[in-house]
Amino acid sequence: MAIKYSFRIRTLNRTTVYGIPDIISHVHFDYIGTDENGKTAVCQGTVPFTLKPIIIDEKASNRTRTIPAVFNKDNYVPYDQITDDIILDWLNASVPPGAIIIYQEIINEQLVN
């Protein structure tokens, strides 16, 4: 069974960062699977765009990693200029491959039943 997968944007959360209003902090989305017969199944998700560094304590390796904040005011796009295509690019770049596999497994189960 061939399934086509795609993202659909549901809602955006906004915040103010460094005095700049309307910075997107979260994208809530549907991940949709459509089979060759047009039957669809949906999995919902959220991508948080980190506005502060994340510190990860890796107990197994006894080390700490810091993931820098995603917001970069040099690459800032005003909210009223952000298109669905830009957000879809962000989703494609931000949703971890492992999460995509899980979404696809859930969708595949829904389409089979």
- From first to last of its 113 residues, the chain has per-residue pLDDT tens of 699 999 999 999 998 877 788 888 899 999 999 999 999 999 999 998 766 666 677 676 777 766 655 556 666 788 999 999 999 998 998 899 999 999 999 999 999 87
CA separation for the pair 73, 34 (Å, rounded) = 37
User: Which structure tokens are listed for 20?
Assistant: 């700049």
Domain that holds residue 104: 3-112
Residue indicated by tokens 């796009």? 77
pLDDT at 112: 86
pLDDT at 53: 60
pLDDT at 63: 77
Please count the structural domains in the chain.
1
3-state secondary structure of 49: coil
CA separation for the pair 15, 48 (Å, rounded) = 12
